[in-house]
Amino acid sequence: MKILITGAAVALPASMPLDCNVLFGDRILYVGPDKPDADVCINGEGLVLAPGFIDIHTHGCGGVDTMDGGDASCEISELVVKGGTTSFLPTTVTAPAQALHAALDGVRGGIPRAEGANILGAHVEGPFLSPRYKGAHEERFLALPDFRLIDGYADIIKIVTLAPELDGAKGFIESCVENDIICSIGHTGATCEQCANALEWGASSFTHAYNAMSPLSHRAPGTVGALLSSDAFAELICDNIHVAPPAQKILLAAKGNGKTILITDALRLCMAGDGPFTLGGLSGTVKNGRAELPDGTLAGSVLTMNAAVRNFRLNTGCELWEAVRCAATNPAELLGLTQKGRIAEGGDADLVLMTPECEIACTFINGEIKYKA
């Protein structure tokens, strides 16, 4: 079926032309001023058409967590479309090897069966983390980098977060690069120099900027200094809890709209309201949208991708298309997905129709409506 969307402002780099119509089936067939024949015509006047959001770091939502294994990733897939997510990486947490592998088995099984957002693979966050900067990860299950732990899942793992100061990090990063797995620096006390070494070895991203990493000092730049001064990608949890708005502006000024990636780092209580939650064997509580362990440690968010885009635009003063780029185009580029994250002829028809305030009206995946408000 061919669908034509007319009259919407299209989120394209540097402009949002009102006279741009988009025709698509499972792929985008036409972008321009004409109105080609279609089976369905949708009047998008007053709305914005954007490429679907790609969440590369999300643990769960709607009461479901990636670590639940089984059909968890498929269930998450059907829920995240409400926030405009059209592709995502179910993300694990530090756990015993058996639990980690069970979660990854669930992701592998879910990839061909997802009925909602595309499951692109997995993001393994832990166990290769610094005990000092573990955040909401169970310390007794942390481990030194050892590729043998994930070797059997190299086909589906897309990103691994690790602390590069740990023994064995160099060989681990090199093994990841050989297997087309992205290494992201995070949960780390690494110095700026140690981060530079990791980037030289092949790491290419930083996990949730500012959070769970050694801070910036003018004589000891730390991980944050490396993040801000490097050309690597950087994730950002834009819920205004994890990172204050002025720090978001600093990140955008340093990284630009081409290297910042908006993520949710969402927990199982995303879209499920306040209350108690579990995460990798730890327990916490969400109150007024803030997820904490009993000791006050922040533990992920209840953020949705459309809210992240809205917050980032308001906090930084950037254009809407720039915020969309950080939520769609940049994660696609990090993952090497040339057919996603943009509105261009020949690209995948993963699209979001939303209000200028980023309220989702309709989510399309492979040209099919997966959510309609």
Q: Which are the catalytic amino acids?
A: 265
What's the CA gap between 371 and 360, in Å, rounded? 9
Find tokens 């393994």 and name the residue: 124
Structure tokens that stand for 98 in this block: 């058996």
User: If phi over 0 gives left and psi between -120 and 50 gives alpha, with beta otherwise, what is residue 139?
Assistant: alpha
Instruction: Give Cα 125 to chain centroid, integer Å.
Output: 12
Residues contacting residue 45 through CB under 8 Å, at least 6 positions apart:
6, 7, 8
AA letter at 179: N
Question: What torsion, rounded to 10 degrees, do the Cα atoms 160, 163, 166, 168 define?
Answer: 20
Structure tokens that stand for 248 in this block: 């978001």
What's the CA gap between 53 and 329, in Å, rounded? 8
Structure tokens that stand for 182 in this block: 């992205």
Alpha carbon distances (Å) from 338 to 54, 122, 131, 157, 208: 13, 19, 37, 18, 24
DSSP state of 327: I
AA letter at 142: L
CB 34 within 8 A of CB 23: no
DSSP string computed for 279-295: ETTEEEEEETTEEE-TT
DSSP state of 214: P
At 226, is the secondary structure helix, strand, or coil? helix
